[in-house]
Amino acid sequence: MNLILLGPPGAGKGTQARRLMEAHGIPQLSTGDMLRAAVAAGTELGKMAKEVMDRGDLVSDEIIVGMIAERIGEPDCANGFILDGFPRSEAQAAALDAMLAESGLALDHVIEMKAVAAALVERIAGRYTCADCGAGYHDRFQTPRVEGVCDDCGGATFERRADDSEATVRSRLAVYHDQTSPLLPYYRAKGVLREIDGMAGIDDVTAQLDAVLAGENQAGRND
């Protein structure tokens, strides 16, 4: 099963991709996580990417497409993958199509997580993750069961992203609107676009995704 989760920053892509990964045993491929790993490792790519990410702009298509091409070829992707944060531009979508065609693969679903901009700023401003295992939390919407302790791994160190400031979020939302939202008609025309309500509660969103994956969401089909 090859999926794309498409939606603005804060729509819940990472949260749901992690759940899908656990439920279906296929990896979450997050270009944002890959870039943050490069930043943390202090590589040349990381140094270049950090500047772009802090501005809320997109890292060049060439770099991103190269990262994904390499990742999709790894053995754990043999049964499928969940793309989270990729593609983000028409050039990336075209490159993905070419990559998939070359390997005889296809996209099963492109799922748009719809969310209203006003709520996204609050989602992103309150976002933090476990530094040990990457589990995602929110100051209000998703707190650990025991305060200060990660539900998943018991870790006690948490981190916030440098680019999750209100000013950067506004430019990221504008970039989504300008460069990523044109992918919606692109995938709609291919008949693979499904739409879910990303403003619902986290468990409800998971249930909507499960329905799409089970093929029960014909009424929600967008083609």
CB of 143 to Zn ion, least distance (A): 14
Task: Give the C-alpha separation, 24 to 109, whole Å.
Answer: 14
| Residue 128, helix vs strand vs coil | strand
Is 63 in contact with 45 (CB distance < 8 Å)?
yes
- Residue 2 touches which of Zn ion, ligand ADP, none (Cβ within 5-8 Å per kind): none
Task: Give the C-alpha separation, 216 to 114, whole Å.
Answer: 19
Among the listed residues 46, 80, 136, 155, the single contact to ligand ADP using CB under 6 A? 136
Is 129 in contact with 159 (CB distance < 8 Å)?
yes
- Strand-pair partners of 132: none
Among the listed residues 2, 6, 13, 187, the single contact to ligand ADP using CB under 6 A? 13
Among the listed residues 93, 135, 193, 205, the single contact to Zn ion using CB under 5 A? 135
Q: Which among 11, 34, 30 is positioned nearest to 111, based on CA atoms?
A: 11
> What is the token pair recorded at 221?
């089909």
Of 70-78, 86-94, 150-158, 187-195, which part binds ligand ADP (CB under 6 A)?
86-94
- 19, 36, 88, 194: the active-site residue: 88
170 is catalytic: no
- 144 near Zn ion, judged by CB under 5 A: no
Which residue has 């976002």 as its token pair?
Answer: 127
Nearer to Zn ion, 4 or 130 (CB): 130
> Which amino acid is it at 184?
L
Q: Which among 152, 172, 177 is positioned nearest to 161, based on CA atoms?
A: 172
- 152 near Zn ion, judged by CB under 5 A: yes
- Residue 122 touches which of Zn ion, ligand ADP, none (Cβ within 5-8 Å per kind): none
- Residue 27 touches which of Zn ion, ligand ADP, none (Cβ within 5-8 Å per kind): none
Which residue has 């890292």 as its token pair?
Answer: 59
- 27 near ligand ADP, judged by CB under 6 A: no
36 is catalytic: no
Q: What character string, x for contact with ligand ADP (CB under 6 A) and - otherwise, covers 148-187? A: ---------------x--------x---------------
Distant-in-sequence, close-in-space partners of 201: CB < 8 Å, separation ≥ 6: none
- Residue 130 touches which of Zn ion, ligand ADP, none (Cβ within 5-8 Å per kind): Zn ion
